[in-house]
Amino acid sequence: MTQAELFEELRKGAVAGAKALLGWKLVHPTSQGRVAGYIVETEAYVQEDPASHTFKGQTTRNASMFEAAGTIYVYFTYGMHYCVNIVTGPKGHGEGVLIRAIQPAEGIEIMKTNRQKTGTQLTNGPAKLVEALGITSALNGQKVGDALLLEPGLKIRTDDIQVATRIGISQGVEELARFYVKGNPYVSRTA
DNA sequence: AGGGAGATTTTCT
DNA sequence: GAAAATCTCCCTA
């Protein structure tokens, strides 16, 4: 898949985008050097979903989710964690894809410094990978392609994509909107 | 290995 | 004032 084709999937919507993003390399250029990982787990959030931040309409917090596909949405939660989304769909529609887990690819030493951990503990959760990559709320509202890049990474066969229920939400729990790479050790939790 | 509670603060009701 | 798209530590088996 080319990058143009990836963005085409993102424009289609959160579910198509969540599947298409698997295997892509998420790159954060920092002053220390490039820090990057292959996306191995995602979750789709559409505006009609009670579990989505955008379900009740646009607010100052979730405004970037209403931007065009390819915008970055970083939110703060539980008083101490950040998570990152890739916005999907047309401008004015609040939806996006939560990046839940990545497999370290570049700048692993930097990740260890950021996380004070090693192995799968580096990036096997949405708040963990954000800390490992050094992503901050300053990226919220920016576009993919500058402060954060998406580059071709692993080839994921359709057969290797597992669909499951989402994690850590209290509404819309039964929605099958979580996608991950089968057998990958960095996936936060297998079915 | 697995479960439960605490941390900690922004955001919305 | 309550809940939150989570993580880590500490406890018990």
Can you tell me whether residue A104 is helix, strand or coil? strand
Q: Name the average pLDDT for chain A.
A: 96
Query: How many Å does it take to go from CA A4 to C1' B7?
Result: 42
CA A49 – CA A36 distance, rounded (Å): 30
Q: What value does the mean pLDDT take over residues A128-152?
A: 97
Q: Measured between alpha carbons, how far is A175 from A83 in angstroms, rounded to an integer?
A: 20
Q: What is the pLDDT of residues A82-115, one digit of tens each?
A: 999 999 999 999 999 999 999 999 999 999 999 9
pLDDT tier at A123, thresholds 50, 70, 90: very high
Please report residues contacting nucleic strand B, using a CB cutoff of 7 A: A 56, 59-62, 76, 78-80
Work out if A132's Cβ lies within 7 angstroms of strand C: no
